[in-house]
Amino acid sequence: MLDLSGFSDPGGAITILRGGDIVDPYFAIQALLLAKEYGLDADADTRRWIAFLALRQRPDGAFDRFCRSATGWSACKPADADDALLAMWMKLLRSSGALAPRGLAKPSLARSDAALGRLYDQSRGVYLVSPSYPHSLFMDNLEIWWFWSSQRTAADQVRARKLLSAIHKVFWHAGKLRFLVSTQAEQADMPHAFYPDAVAQILPLLFGYPALPGTTRAYYRSWMKAHRGEWLTRAPDDFSWGVLALIALRQGDLESAACWLRETAHLRYSTHWTVSDEITRQVLDARGIGPAVAELSCR
């Protein structure tokens, strides 16, 4: 059973941080989708969250972030990325069935689908971040592909296949053997940074993206050899990146998942610990995976 004590409130809001004052729909939806995928019972939180967010969807289909105020939750800034958020919201609604309050899901899906459609870049075949940011991001398009590929209708599967092909064509850099993070011209020559560059290279494995060079296993091992130490030492200055521990779990790399638990244990509920990190910890706990022993080298 999922336990979001301190992250959720009775009205359905789910904050980024425990006891926080900001609701970012992206983090909440990601957390609920991952909880469901990895076997945690998130029905009660999902039902309340859908009711909370559907009533706050803008007429144009997009979403805001919300800040705590004296009267409740008020829109205070736009979401970071409309494209991925819209796709993940539709995935949550479609996968939740009867959990979505009657009369809210269908109109919200229609608004969301129309809003996402307006972000489609016909020339490249991928999606733009938002009307305000007319470029495309690799990780956002992965999440959109994840949504379409999980749907069963013929039309959705066509969308998934077309997007899969476009993602590879637009973002794979054959010369550098890596995925470009963005369609922004200057991005190709930017120096390495763990986020977004290194994270972008491993995130395809979270979604089962098939267009990788070589085997999934070899690709994963290569990334961990290059970046595991960097990942496990970032938390004091960054977020804890628990979703990467879920990738390790998917690959049967329980050692790296246990290392993540050990290296981030002191950061739980801090400003470096998001609701998605909390989901990761609870998933690992539910599977009997504990922190690595002190003697194990995790670098």
- The predicted-structure confidence for 216-270, as pLDDT tens digits, reads as follows 999 999 999 999 999 998 766 788 999 999 999 999 999 999 999 999 999 999 9
Q: Say how far apart CA 232 and CA 265 lie, in whole Å.
A: 11
Q: Is 252 left (phi over 0), alpha (psi -120 to 50) or beta?
A: left
Give 263's contacts (C-beta < 8 A, 6+ positions apart): 232, 233, 235, 298
Question: Residue 288 corresponds to which tokens in the numbers above?
Answer: 């009997």
Please report the pLDDT score of residue 188 as a whole number.
72
Q: Which has the higher per-residue pLDDT, 187 or 14?
A: 14
Min mean pLDDT across 2-6, 15-19, 22-26, 194-198 is at 194-198
The dihedral through the CA atoms of 73, 75, 80, 84 has a sign that is positive
Lowest mean pLDDT across 5-9, 56-60, 204-208, 232-236: 232-236
Q: What pLDDT is recorded for position 46?
A: 97
pLDDT(42) > 90? yes
Q: What is the pLDDT of residue 109?
A: 95
Cβ-based burial of 174 (10 A; exposed 0-12, middle 13-18, buried ≥19):
exposed
For residue 189, pLDDT over 90 is answered with no
DSSP-assigned letters across all residues of the chain: ----BTTB-TTS-B-SSTT-SEE-HHHHHHHHHHHHHTT---HHHHHHHHHHHHTT--TTS--EEEEEETTEEEEEEE-S-HHHHHHHHHHHHHHHGGGSPTTTHHHHHHHHHHHHHTTEETTTTEE-SBTTB-S-BHHHHHHHHHHHHH--SHHHHHHHHHHHHHHHHHHEETTTTEE-SBS-GGGGGPPP-IIIIIHHHHTHHHHT----SS-HHHHHHHHHHHHHHHHHT-GGGS---THHHHHHHHTT-HHHHHHHHHHHGGGTTSTT--HHHHHHHHHHHHTT--PPPTTS---
pLDDT of residue 103: 87
* Rounded mean pLDDT, 90-97: 94
- What is the model's pLDDT at position 101? 80
Q: How many whole angstroms separate alpha carbon 243 and alpha carbon 75?
A: 27
Mean pLDDT for the chain overall: 95
pTM tops 0.85, yes or no = yes
pLDDT band at 127, cuts 50/70/90? very high
| All residues at 6 or more sequence positions from 192 whose CB lies less than 8 Å from its CB, including other chains | 198
> CB of 149 within 8 A of CB of 95?
no
Token digits for 251?
A: 């690959």
How many residues belong to the chain?
A: 299
Model pLDDT, residue 93: 96
pLDDT at 238: 81
Do 137 and 80 contact (CB within 8 A), yes or no?
no
> Is the model more confident about 185 or about 52?
52
Cα 145 from chain centre: 12
Q: Per mean pLDDT, which range of 13-17, 58-62, 235-239 is the poorest?
A: 235-239
- Arithmetic mean of pLDDT, 88-92: 98
8 Å CB contact between 99 and 46: yes
Per-residue pLDDT reduced to its tens digit, 147-169? 999 999 999 999 999 999 999 99
Give every CB contact of residue 106 below 8 A, 6+ residues apart in sequence: none
* pLDDT given at position 236: 63
* pLDDT higher than threshold 70 for residue 198: yes
